[in-house]
């Protein structure tokens, strides 16, 4: 069962445990708080811009003490549309934090792009990168669910996506007995985003559970591949 971080915003953040509801993700609180409107500037050739909204936080951590199986992986979807030229993602920015004690753990990230298969990730990733250390990890100054919000930039290379719908899936491993890392929810990109996300409690994933009501915070930038111009000579 998916494990989320949720708090109620009333003056100071307060965390109260509530029993899980059958067939619903496990959460710290039983309901999301009201989303906070924020904006994130586009980068070069932005493919997806979903600013963090402080409504919830979903653990994406394979060393997750607060998750039912000790494992939880989350994915969000993006439509790549380049008129047939193709797209090379190179930077992924995500927002999240270390819960519940606000104690950061040095971590790396595994990142996957899966083709869409009937509303969930397909069986085989189009491309992936593992053991990626953050290019930067900035404290935004926002207090989120009682802990500090981190803005984490991940840099990748060597991935080419043709036009279509993909699932961006990533996770880290904080290790059991430490704080767990959560991915903050975000506001849907109405142009390139697709409503909803997916989660699984197995690694490697075998089945995915769709969550039509939740989108994640992410800024995906890259390069639209240049058009090759054929040269001709006239004799």
The secondary structure of 130-149 as a DSSP string is: EEEPPSEEEEEEEEETTEEE
Task: Say what the pLDDT of residue 226 is.
Answer: 79
Q: Which helix (H) or strand (E) holds 97?
A: strand 87-99
Task: Say what the pLDDT of residue 37 is.
Answer: 95
For 157, residues 6+ apart whose C-beta sits below 8 A from its C-beta are: 88, 90, 129
What is the chain's pLDDT, residue by residue, as a tens digit (235 residues)?
A: 555 544 333 333 233 333 333 345 555 556 788 999 999 999 889 999 999 999 989 999 999 998 888 999 999 999 999 999 999 999 999 999 999 999 999 999 999 999 999 999 999 999 999 999 999 999 999 998 899 999 999 999 999 999 999 999 999 999 999 999 999 999 999 999 999 999 999 999 989 999 998 999 999 999 998 755 444 455 5
Q: Which two tokens stand for residue 75?
A: 């994915």
Task: Say what the pLDDT of residue 234 is.
Answer: 52
The DSSP call for residue 34 is P
Task: Say what the pLDDT of residue 33 is.
Answer: 83
Nearest of 154, 167, 69 to residue 109 by alpha carbon: 154
Task: Say what the pLDDT of residue 28 is.
Answer: 52
- The domain limits of the chain are 35-224
Task: Say what the pLDDT of residue 9 is.
Answer: 30
Please give the torsion angle defined by the CA atoms of residues 115, 120, 124 and 129, in that order, rounded to the nearest 10 degrees: 70
């Amino acid at each position: 069962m998916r494990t989320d971080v949720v708090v109620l915003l009333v003056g100071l953040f307060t965390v109260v445990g509530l029993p899980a509801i059958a067939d619903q993700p496990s959460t710290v609180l039983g309901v999301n708080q009201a989303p906070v409107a924020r904006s994130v500037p586009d980068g070069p050739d932005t493919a997806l811009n979903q600013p963090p909204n402080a409504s919830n936080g979903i653990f994406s951590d394979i060393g997750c003490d607060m998750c039912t199986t000790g494992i939880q992986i989350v994915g969000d979807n993006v439509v790549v549309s380049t008129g047939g030229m193709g797209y090379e993602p190179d930077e992924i920015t995500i927002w999240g934090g270390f819960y519940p004690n606000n104690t950061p753990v040095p971590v790396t990230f595994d990142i996957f792009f899966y083709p869409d298969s009937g509303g969930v990730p397909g069986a085989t990733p189009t491309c992936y990168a593992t053991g990626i250390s953050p290019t930067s990890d900035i404290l935004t100054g926002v207090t989120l669910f009682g802990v500090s919000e981190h803005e984490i930039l991940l840099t990748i290379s060597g991935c080419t996506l043709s036009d279509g719908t993909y699932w961006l899936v990533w996770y880290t491993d904080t290790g059991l007995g430490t704080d767990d890392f959560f991915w903050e929810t975000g506001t849907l990109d109405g142009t390139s985003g697709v409503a909803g996300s997916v989660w699984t409690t197995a690694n490697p994933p075998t089945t995915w559970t769709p969550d039509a009501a939740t989108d994640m915070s992410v800024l995906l930038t890259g390069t639209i591949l240049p058009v090759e111009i054929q040269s001709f000579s006239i004799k």
